[in-house]
Structure 1
Amino acid sequence: MWNKKWIPAVLGFNGGYVDTAGFLALNGLFTGHVTGNFATLGAALVSGSTGTIDKALALPVFCLAIVLCRLFRHLLVRNNIDVFSRMLLVKFMLLSLGATLAIHYGPFVDGNALIAVFTGLIFVAAMALQNAVHRVHLSTAPPSTVMTMTVTQVMLDITDLLHEVDGEQKTLIYGRLKNMIPVIITFAIGCASGAAIFNFLQMWCFVLPPMVVILLLMMYNSSDTQSKQAI
């Protein structure tokens, strides 16, 4: 049965998986968020290692993808078309294209080669879309691509529980933990899975993320109208 609460956890798995597999397969590129690419870009420039172009372009591509996603949403709303399903479909297409390119042209020895850069930026665009969709449709759920603030909040809440907070605040804390911990767990599982499967399958590891998205889309499309409206 469809349940909105599953979505952040499923997206968390994909977020961890794609970011880890992308880091290993694409010369240290973080596909799910932009912060890490500033650090790895600086390190690559100093060490002279490959893969500097895609890291430098990750932020503008990430921003452009979000802008296009937002414009696409306005178009869908004007035409009374279900936004969430179409966004999942676009994400599936981007992840599938990235997987196809990675499998056909990888492994990428030269991270600055045009096809390597293009492949990496396709995955960046896909994960930028996930960030945008999460922000709009799942704004009350913890992020599915970056765990820093989520882990920080969990540690603060656990500390407060150990400090014996009052009943009302304890209820709020348990509610937050119930939402945050599953996403952290699935993100960690995604990271471990991405690393392990890349180790065995190399570029074929990218087949799994679009399959997860299409499964999520099928579950969403089979749900009732009331469940869809809740998103």
Structure 2
Amino acid sequence: MKAIPLPVLLSFNGGYVDTLGFLALGGLFTAHVTGNFVTLGASIAMGMGATLSKLFALPVFCVVVFASRIVGLTLQRNGRPVLRPLLVVKLILLIIAAAIALTDGPFSDPNSSTAFAIGMVLVAAMAVQNGIHRVHLAKSPPSTLMTGTTTQIMLDLADIAMGGHSETTAAAYSRLKRMVLAVVVFALGCAIAALAFILSPVWSFVAPAVLAALALVAHVETPEGD
């Protein structure tokens, strides 16, 4: 597993968890939380489920990112490592989500208290992942939102097509490889999550915890801020 870069695992898990939450929890985005503004409007207008979860997703996400940053800065000031403890926190959250799913799933009612609980736990886990990426893996493409990455891919392709300075073109090629890989891996995570949910709406929640455990031994080249 040490040969697999941490950002690759995070991208796969980001796509997997976001898709799984959407399918299993009434259209809840657990990673792309701002997308819940759209689905919240649809829930209110069309009577779709998980209204409360969609309403609380962004506040919970913000609070967890804030708290994880405070914890990280505290560890850093005390001369302790930051990246691995935060990965462990994310792992614990995903284990809790898997335990809820195995105990109370599948979630036929997205408005139930258990569906709300597992949704918020998954949102918290993805909040920790987003914080980890922004602080410790800032040179890597985002692992939970592909809009900006896709935009940069097309900009780089345009730069390459137009030619120009060799240094600029070389940088575009280098960036393009990393970003295309991130998008492909994220999309693969989405596809595998859909398949896993079809096969087992309950056991599909175990995979993110397994991936989070593997992330503890994944390859990290430049953990910025650690």
The TM-score by the shorter chain falls in which range?
over 0.9
Displacement of 1:203 after TM fit? 1.7
Displacement of 1:33 after TM fit? 1.8
In the alignment, what sits opposite 1:192?
191
In the alignment, what sits opposite 2:128?
129
In structure 2, how many angstroms separate the alpha carbons of the residues matched to 1:227 and 1:141? 10
In structure 1, how many angstroms separate the alpha carbons of the residues matched to 2:224 and 2:162? 39
Aligned residues: 226
TM-score (norm 2): 0.93
In the alignment, what sits opposite 1:67?
66
Displacement of 1:127 after TM fit? 0.1
Indicate if the aligned counterparts of 2:135 and 2:225 stay in contact, CA closer than 8 A.
no
In structure 2, how many angstroms separate the alpha carbons of the residues matched to 1:10 and 1:219? 8
Displacement of 1:123 after TM fit? 0.1
In structure 1, how many angstroms separate the alpha carbons of the residues matched to 2:165 and 2:69? 42
**Quick one: structure 1 residues 131 and 158, their matched pair in 2 at CA, closer, same or farther if it must change by over 3 Å?**
same
In structure 1, how many angstroms separate the alpha carbons of the residues matched to 2:32 and 2:20? 14
Query: Greater CA deviation, 191-200 or 77-86?
Result: 77-86
Query: Greater CA deviation, 179-188 or 58-67?
Result: 179-188
Query: Greater CA deviation, 10-19 or 72-81?
Result: 72-81
Displacement of 1:108 after TM fit? 1.6
Percent of pairs with identical residues: 45
What is the DSSP-based 3-state SS (H/G/I as helix, E as strand, rest coil) of the residue aligned with 1:218? Answer: coil
What are the residue-to-residue correspondences of 1:11-160 with 2, within 5 Å? 11-160=10-159
Over the aligned positions, Cα root-mean-square deviation in angstroms equals: 2.0
Residues 114-152 of structure 1, C-alpha deviation per residue, up to 9 Å, x if partnerless? Answer: 111111000000000000000000111110000001001
In structure 1, how many angstroms separate the alpha carbons of the residues matched to 2:161 and 2:25? 43
Q: Any gaps of 5 or more consecutive residues in structure 2?
A: none
Instruction: Kindly provide the amino acid, as one letter, of the partner of residue 57 in structure 1.
Output: F
In the alignment, what sits opposite 1:215?
214
Displacement of 1:65 after TM fit? 0.5
